[in-house]
């Protein structure tokens, strides 16, 4: 028996179409001759109203068993709906209760706080907001692949378990290969958890960039799209210990080409998601953040501002605002600084380039002034940093010096240095935090609410 997704019915369904719906009950309203049931199947924000007429053979039993959360299959014909806000409704001719729902179901029809929903992460995708988030997240992912595939970039899968610390920031989760059949024990007989991975120190990746560079210096243009991990203080509304990153890398490319790609990329994603998920985006605008649709249009229709770090510091020093963290050339821009620039000063995304060498990673290309590197961060209103990228250091000698200057072991990077020995080229790329993109797109306040399973002590069950 084929069935129909509600989104298709809402968009294209015509009176007299015979359809089969499989979904979950949101509400039930009993009247004298009919019972009205709203069904949702996750394909759309809005459910479809189904009308159960009293002459159904199993009417009494069916209506009794149906409650919010129950799983049902309904078959019947679409009829014009007298109700407001819907063109058609389903006149049920055959109904089946597939799974009833216990009265303890926590998602009764009322608003729940996102904090509460995080404690029932296994049920929260059944809510309107989390359903909309998952559809928009999916549309973002589809648009990302569409954008890169359309331009001939190859999608490369980089390792999750790795020996290298890409960012050199020491924010790594360690991986151990604990063989439970041969549990190593220390002198006291206690289990020794300090064992390395196949005899080497291994970590969960913080970024696929270095491996991405390997591929770009063979295949020209590539992108990664996968999970990354950071053992940093993630107790903010913008940080996760496990998040997804999109990292394009381009050979024969400098900072200018990198900035152009980042801007075209963000514009494309916003345009495409508005086409793919118009109802969900309107919902976010109505219920979560009234800036959502305006912001999307601002991004699509305006050029991003582009300033250097030195100019950014200048703007911050001239600002009438008092910052908690004092401004001076050389500081790492704090989220309050980034948000002032993007939200108040420029009121649109801006790209900040040429950061001081000391505050950026070893692989960024040293500029002629020897004080700055060819870095670029894209700062977004309401979010702050959404993209971080750079032109890479392609000169062998300079790169060796930079690795050593940062106190990193040169021998660990022998393969990375080889890329500069054998046919080195200028190349550049960036990393987009996927969850920050979804936050930016939807206006959701907390990053934990735009990922299906946020990693935190609270949600350690799965
Ligand atoms: O600026 P980051 O650290 O850059 C890199 O990792 C480079 N290797 C990227 C590259 O050039 N290929 O991280 C990139 C982006 C940030 O701009 C931010 O959007 C996101 O990743 N990000 C996080 N998102 C959620 N939680 C965290 N803890 C994040 N840390 C970084
Ligand atoms: Mg960064």
Q: Pick the ligand that lies closest to the CA of residue 237.
A: 1
Split at pLDDT 50, 70, 90, the class of 458 is low
Q: CB of 243 closer than 6 A to ligand 1? A: yes
- Vertex 123: Cα angle to 117 and 125 (nearest 5): 85
Residue nearest to atom 22 of ligand 1 (CA): 433
Distance from residue 225's CA to the centre of ligand 2 (Å): 17
pLDDT of amino acid 201: 82
Instruction: Give the tokens for residue 208.
Output: 């696929």
pLDDT of amino acid 397: 98
Alpha-carbon distance of 292 to 284, in angstroms, equals: 7
Q: CB of 245 closer than 6 A to ligand 1? A: yes
Nearest Cα to Cα of residue 22 among 67, 85, 60, 73 = 73
**Contacts with 35 (C-beta within 8 Å, 6 or more apart), sequence order:** 28, 29, 51, 52, 59, 63, 66
Which of the residue ranges 178-192, 352-366, 430-444 would you say has the lowest mean pLDDT? 178-192
Cα 329 from chain centroid?
Answer: 32
pLDDT at 218 over 70: yes
pLDDT at 275 over 50: yes
pLDDT digits (tens, 9 = 90+) for 150-159: 999 999 999 9
Distance from residue 389's CA to the centre of ligand 1 (Å): 9
Q: CB of 240 closer than 6 A to ligand 1? A: yes
Which of the residue ranges 173-182, 265-274, 409-418 would you say has the lowest mean pLDDT? 173-182
pLDDT of amino acid 165: 79
Instruction: Give the tokens for residue 196.
Output: 């390395």
Q: CB of 388 closer than 6 A to ligand 1? A: yes
Q: CB of 292 closer than 6 A to ligand 1? A: no
pLDDT at 273 over 70: yes
Which of the residue ranges 86-100, 154-168, 321-335 would you say has the lowest mean pLDDT? 154-168
Residue 117's H or E segment, with its range, is: helix 114-119
pLDDT at 194 over 60: no
pLDDT at 148 over 50: yes
pLDDT digits (tens, 9 = 90+) for 40-62: 999 999 999 999 999 999 999 99
pLDDT digits (tens, 9 = 90+) for 66-118: 999 999 999 999 999 988 888 999 999 999 999 999 999 999 877 899 999 99
Alpha-carbon distance of 173 to 164, in angstroms, equals: 12
Alpha-carbon distance of 224 to 145, in angstroms, equals: 10
Q: CB of 166 closer than 6 A to ligand 1? A: yes
Nearest Cα to Cα of residue 377 among 417, 421, 333 = 333
Alpha-carbon distance of 452 to 126, in angstroms, equals: 12
Alpha-carbon distance of 228 to 4, in angstroms, equals: 37
Distance from residue 33's CA to the centre of ligand 1 (Å): 58
CA-232 nearest atom, ligand 1: 28
pLDDT of amino acid 175: 87
pLDDT at 393 over 90: yes
Strand-pairing partners, residue 427, are: 251
Q: Could you give the 3-state DSSP secondary structure of residue 129?
A: helix
The environment of the single-atom ion ligand 2, i.e. residues with CB closer than 5 A, is: 388
pLDDT of amino acid 2: 65
Split at pLDDT 50, 70, 90, the class of 185 is low
pLDDT of amino acid 167: 81
Residue nearest to atom 18 of ligand 1 (CA): 433
> Looking at residues 308-331, what average pLDDT do you find?
96
Alpha-carbon distance of 285 to 312, in angstroms, equals: 31
CA-209 nearest atom, ligand 1: 12
Alpha-carbon distance of 311 to 307, in angstroms, equals: 6
- Mutation choice for ligand 1 from 431, 432, 435, 440, CB with most ligand atoms inside 8 A: 431
Residue nearest to atom 31 of ligand 1 (CA): 433
pLDDT of amino acid 184: 58
Task: Please list, residue by residue across 402-435, b when 16 or more beta carbons sit within 10 angstroms of its beta carbon and e when fewer do.
Answer: bbeeeeeeeeebeebbebbeeebebbbbbbbbbb
Q: Which domains does the chain carry?
A: 6-99 (2.40.50.140), 125-171+206-459 (3.30.930.10)
Nearest Cα to Cα of residue 172 among 120, 118, 229 = 229
Instruction: Give the tokens for residue 325.
Output: 């963290």
Dihedral angle computed from the Cα positions of residues 436, 440, 441 and 444, in that order, rounded to the nearest 10 degrees: 90
Q: Pick the ligand that lies closest to the CA of residue 433.
A: 1
Q: Could you give the 3-state DSSP secondary structure of residue 178?
A: coil
> Looking at residues 316-321, what average pLDDT do you find?
94
Taking a C-beta distance cutoff of 8 angstroms, is the pair 243, 231 a contact?
no
- Mutation choice for ligand 1 from 225, 388, 430, CB with most ligand atoms inside 8 A: 388
pLDDT at 171 over 90: no
Taking a C-beta distance cutoff of 8 angstroms, is the pair 435, 221 a contact?
no
Give the DSSP letter of residue 332: P
Q: CB of 167 closer than 6 A to ligand 1? A: yes
Which of the residue ranges 5-9, 70-74, 180-184, 211-215 would you say has the lowest mean pLDDT? 180-184
Residue nearest to atom 5 of ligand 1 (CA): 431
pLDDT of amino acid 460: 56
pLDDT of amino acid 457: 58
Alpha-carbon distance of 37 to 378, in angstroms, equals: 47
pLDDT of amino acid 1: 47
Mean pLDDT of the chain: 93
pLDDT of amino acid 108: 84
Instruction: Give the tokens for residue 139.
Output: 């549309």
Q: CB of 386 closer than 6 A to ligand 1? A: yes
Residue nearest to atom 23 of ligand 1 (CA): 433
Q: CB of 385 closer than 6 A to ligand 1? A: yes
Which class for 284: exposed (0-12), middle (13-18), buried (19 or more C-beta within 10 A)?
Answer: buried
Strand ranges across the sheet with 161-162: 161-162, 202-204, 174-175
Distance from residue 170's CA to the centre of ligand 1 (Å): 14
- Mutation choice for ligand 1 from 342, 436, 449, 456, CB with most ligand atoms inside 8 A: 436
Q: CB of 158 closer than 6 A to ligand 1? A: no
pLDDT digits (tens, 9 = 90+) for 232-248: 876 789 999 999 999 99
């Amino acid at each position: 028996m084929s069935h129909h997704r509600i989104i298709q019915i809402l968009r294209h369904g015509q009176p007299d179409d015979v359809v089969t719906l499989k979904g979950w009950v949101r509400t039930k309203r009993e009247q004298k001759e009919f019972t009205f049931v709203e069904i949702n199947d996750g394909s759309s924000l809005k459910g479809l109203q189904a009308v159960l007429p009293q002459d159904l053979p199993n009417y009494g039993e069916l209506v009794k068993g149906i409650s919010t959360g129950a799983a049902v299959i309904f078959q019947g014909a679409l009829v014009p709906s007298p109700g407001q806000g819907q063109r058609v409704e389903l006149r049920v001719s055959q109904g089946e209760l597939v799974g009833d729902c216990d009265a303890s179901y926590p998602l009764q029809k009322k608003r729940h706080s996102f904090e509460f929903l995080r404690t029932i992460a296994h049920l929260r995708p059944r809510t309107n907001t989390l359903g909309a988030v998952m559809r928009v997240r999916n549309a973002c992912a589809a648009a990302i692949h569409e954008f890169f595939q359309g331009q001939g970039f190859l999608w490369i899968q980089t390792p999750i378990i790795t020996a290298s610390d890409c960012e050199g920031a020491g924010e790594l989760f360690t991986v151990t290969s604990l063989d439970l059949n041969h549990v190593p024990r220390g002198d006291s007989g206690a289990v020794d958890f300090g064992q390395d991975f196949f005899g080497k120190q291994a970590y969960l990746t913080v970024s696929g960039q270095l491996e991405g560079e390997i591929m770009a210096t063979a295949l020209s243009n590539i992108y990664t799209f996968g999970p990354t991990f950071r053992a940093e203080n993630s107790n903010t509304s913008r940080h996760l210990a496990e998040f997804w990153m999109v990292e394009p890398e381009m050979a024969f490319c400098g900072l200018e080409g990198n900035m152009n790609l980042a801007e075209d990329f963000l514009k494309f994603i916003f345009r495409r998601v508005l086409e793919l998920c118009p109802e969900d985006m309107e919902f976010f605008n109505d219920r979560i953040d009234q800036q959502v649709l305006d912001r999307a249009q601002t991004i699509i229709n305006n050029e991003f501002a582009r300033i250097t770090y030195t100019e950014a510091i200048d703007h911050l020093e001239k600002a009438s605002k008092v910052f908690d963290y004092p401004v001076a050339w050389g500081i790492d821009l704090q989220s309050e600084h980034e948000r002032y620039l993007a939200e108040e000063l420029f009121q649109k995304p801006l790209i900040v380039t040429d950061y001081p060498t000391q505050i950026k990673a070893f692989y960024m290309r040293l500029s002629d002034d020897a004080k700055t590197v060819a870095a670029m961060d894209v700062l977004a209103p309401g979010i702050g940093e959404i993209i971080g990228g750079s032109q890479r250091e392609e000169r062998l000698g300079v790169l060796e010096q930079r690795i050593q200057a940062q106190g990193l072991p040169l021998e660990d990077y022998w393969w990375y240095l080889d890329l500069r020995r054998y046919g080195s080229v200028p190349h550049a790329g960036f990393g987009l935090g996927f969850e920050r993109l979804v936050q930016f797109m939807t206006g959701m306040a907390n990053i934990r609410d735009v990922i299906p399973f946020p990693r935190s002590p609270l949600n350690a069950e799965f």
